[in-house]
Amino acid sequence: MKISPLLVYLMLLVLFSTSSHQVLAIEDPLGKPNNKFGIHILFPSEIDDASRLVNGNGGEWGYIVVPVQSGDRDLEKWQEFMDKARQRKLIPVIRLATEGDYFNTKVWRKPKESDILDFANFLDSLDWPVKNRYVSVFNEVNRDDEWGGKADPKGYAELLSYATTVFKSLSPDFFILSAGLDNASVNGNGAINKLTYMQRMNTAVPGVFNQIDGFVSHSYPNPSFSQPPSAQGVTSIASFRFERTLLKKMTPKKLPFFITETGWSGKSISDEVRAAYYKDAFDTVWSDQDIVMVSPFLLRAGGGPFAQFSFIGPDGTPTKQYSSIAGMVKTKGEPTQNDTPTPSPQVLGTEVAKTSNVPVLWFSSTKQQKKITRSEVATGLFHWMFGI
């Protein structure tokens, strides 16, 4: 007997309806009062200075972006960070990162599926301060040096799709964000223009942008990190608009935007001018209704190539651009808070989608564990495949 696709769909829907897993459990960050001010940091120890910046002048629950490298999955360290974020009313945005490639230290190692599993297991072991667990899946993957030496939109699209499935299988509260793309990259020498990269992602994995929960934009004022807010081309602080226009052609889903990196260089622009530029940008371009947060790069560089962007000088003195943003009137954000610790789960093993008996991996913890079943993994995958 031939079974119609519609019948198969209805049978699967009934089968999975018994699962306790609710896929669409995240909340719309723009559906409540939202403090869109954020800052990118490199180390958890910077959280106090970050709080004074993004929550200054009446704000609460601003955003803090921080990378977590694959070799830095320290439960005690990162749980302390989450606890401090709760105390200081900050919303963490975790950016996944690998490490320098062993054979080519000029590039970041290309991540694998096992990295996704390890990150998901680890991050689901932490007690997060708010309901939405924001995770950005790697960084500027259209650059050759961010993806093992050669940008690969097909490989990244497949990994992003896999990451969405795995993270959502562990907790429906994970809010999956794409990697921010370098808006200055051009095609050639292993790099790919960001809009071309997005198109190739969708060609390789049709509907991939329907799977994620938010889109990350690196709306830098290029070229040379020095263009005024009035310059609003494809490589400007308004570059998110061009990404949004393209996304509308590839997914019916209205994705919120997270500008997790932006900023003017101090090499060619004075601190006074940068301070004025930020005020202008927040008042105009970044007041867009689709933007959840704007997180300039970087709070504290200390030295080196990132010093040109730093909001705090080498001697610990706040810059004028720091004072400018700290003094802007802010909103008291009202995200749903996790007032009680989230139970630490029994986490998925490396054969998550390959065997009927899902192995598990335990992190050291005394907290109560929850069981993740294969039906929960399948339910999440089913929803994303059909875009519901």
Please give the full DSSP string across 201-229, using - where no structure is assigned. Answer: HHHHSTTHHHH-SBEEEE---TTTT---T
Asked if pLDDT for residue 312 goes beyond 50, the answer is yes
Residue 197 lies in a domain: yes
Question: Using one digit for the tens of pLDDT, what is the confidence trace for 17-73?
Answer: 333 333 358 999 999 999 999 999 999 999 999 999 999 999 999 999 999 999 999
In a domain, 8, yes or no: no
Residue 174, CB-side half-sphere exposure with 13 Å CA sphere: 29
Residue 354 lies in a domain: no
Mean pLDDT of 151-159: 98
- Average pLDDT of the segment spanning 327-346: 80
Is 6 part of any domain?
A: no
B/e letters for 13-24, b = 16+ CB within 10 Å, e = fewer, are eeebeeeebebe
Render pLDDT for 105-137 as a digit per residue (tens, 0 to 9).
789 999 999 999 999 999 999 999 999 999 999
Looking at residue 280, its pLDDT comes to 98
Contacts of 347 (CB under 8 A, 6+ apart): 120, 121, 124, 125, 170, 360, 361, 362, 363, 372
Q: Rounded to 5 degrees, what are φ and ψ at 36?
A: -80, 0
Task: Tell me whether residue 107 is in a domain.
Answer: yes
% of the chain at pLDDT higher than 70: 81
Domain around 272: 23-335
For residues 299-307, average pLDDT: 93
Mean pLDDT in residue range 282-309: 96
Nearest to 347 by CA among 339, 338, 358, 336: 358
Assigned domain for 306 exists: yes
Residue 221 lies inside a defined structural domain of this protein = yes
pLDDT score of 104 = 74
Contact assessment for residue 85 and residue 131, using Cβ atoms and an 8 Å cutoff: no
DSSP state of 139: B
pLDDT the model gives residue 255 = 98
Question: Would you state the pLDDT for residue 101?
Answer: 74
- Tell me how far the alpha carbon of residue 222 is from its chain's centroid: 22
Q: What is the DSSP letter of 298?
A: -
- Tens of pLDDT, residues 344-380: 444 555 444 433 333 333 333 333 333 333 344 344 4
Which pLDDT tens digit goes with each residue over 206-221?
999 999 999 999 999 9
Q: What is the pLDDT of residues 213-271, one digit of tens each?
A: 999 999 999 999 999 999 999 999 999 999 999 999 999 999 999 999 999 999 989 99
Domain count, the chain: 1
Identify whether 196 is part of a domain: yes
- Please give the pLDDT value at position 380: 42
CB contact at 8 A, 42 and 312 = no
Any idea what the CATH number is for the domain that residue 233 is in?
Answer: 3.20.20.80
